[in-house]
Amino acid sequence: MSLYRTELRRLVKRRFTRYMTLLGLLVLALVVAGLFATNEKVGPEQWAAAERQADRQHQEQVRWAERERAGCERDRAAGVTDDGRYPTDCAEIVPPPRDQIEAEWFLPATFDFRQGFEDLALAFTAVLALVAFVVGASFVGAEWSTGGMMNLLLWRPRRVTVLLTKLAALLTGLIAVTVSAGALWTAGLWLTAVLRGSTERMTPGVWESFALTGLRGLALVLAVAVVGFGLASLGRHTAMALGGAIALAVVGQFGVGILFSMANVAFVERWLMPTYALAWMQQKVTLQEWRSCVSDFSGQCQPATYDVTWGQSAVLFGAGVVLVLGAAIWAMRRRDIS
């Protein structure tokens, strides 16, 4: 029997894999359902209602200005000191012009597919990356903790081959789940936009950009899965990967962020992992340092900026994957199996 097919079947049959995957898909489904429930299509009726609301808002501002101007005139006539509550000239208290109160402010929430897809792709990737990390860690961690790995090596004594075959089965399953979920996710968002929003300005170039965003999301999900798999294999227990993730989040992210902020380090975000994940998905993230001044030709002071690109993120994540997986392979070859 093929070792790869055996591992793939083992992955699919594990209850933890099924429950964790279903939980992740349920979260994604709830996000789409929430978008559908909280948005609505904007038409002539909605614009008319928004115009009426803008008119009411303007009338309220007019009544407020009249009350305040009358109060100002009473205080001036009585010689009351108002400690700067009113201007020197009460005639300056006027309502805003009607054209400054835009009807667009009062429109109901509506889902624009082109504008919202890439932001929601971050949520999709984050949920599936969490699922991939936990499933990847438990897939190999459970084998070590229950003695299944030792029994498997009696059948197939080639250690590295066994480890990499198990990893290949994991990645195959994740690709199938991520691609399928991504297709359903996109269809759900498209249906929401058709019925409760807008699908305007969707050109072939936009679809190509969305496809590339999806591929980057898939690559990030697989990279996170490899890291979880490698850490659990190194520690021979699922808790090793989960503990490493908690340590990275608490010590490596919050701790470093607080320490660097107290030390007044410029561009603190460039040292935090979420910044690089965001740059990977969005291609570039521009950080701003408001404590630095960069003068332009008009004499205005602009904050200093620093760009984190998807290329830098690729190098960082690639190095992390190679380091963790390489260490897991080395440990698998060097340590005794007992």
Instruction: Answer for the pair 216, 119: CB distance below 8 angstroms, yes or no.
Output: no
What's the average pLDDT block by block, 10 residues per block, for the chain (338 residues)? Answer: 83 91 95 93 88 91 90 81 76 87 87 92 94 91 69 67 90 96 96 92 92 96 94 79 71 72 79 90 87 62 85 94 92 67
d(CA 219, CA 167): 15
* DSSP secondary structure letters along 100-160: GS-GGGGSPP-EEHHHHHHHHHHHHHHHHHHHHHHHHHHHHHHHHHHTHHHHHHHH---HH
Half-sphere exposure of 55 (CA within 13 A, CB side): 6
**Angle, helix 15-38 to helix 113-146, in steps of 10 degrees:** 160
Residue 336: predicted pLDDT: 52
User: pLDDT for 3-17, tens place per residue?
Assistant: 888 889 988 988 989
Residue 235: predicted pLDDT: 79
User: pLDDT for 87-118, tens place per residue?
Assistant: 878 888 888 888 888 988 888 888 999 999 98
Residue 287: its H or E element: strand 284-295
d(CA 111, CA 155): 55
Residue 220: predicted pLDDT: 96
User: pLDDT for 174-200, tens place per residue?
Assistant: 999 999 999 999 999 999 999 998 898
Instruction: Answer for the pair 221, 121: CB distance below 8 angstroms, yes or no.
Output: no
Q: Domain-by-domain residue ranges, the chain? A: 3-41+111-334, 44-106
Residue 324: predicted pLDDT: 92
Please name which of 197, 225, 203, 223 lies closest in space to residue 281, comparing C-alpha atoms.
Answer: 223
User: What's the predicted TM-score (pTM) here?
Assistant: 0.83
Residue 140: predicted pLDDT: 86
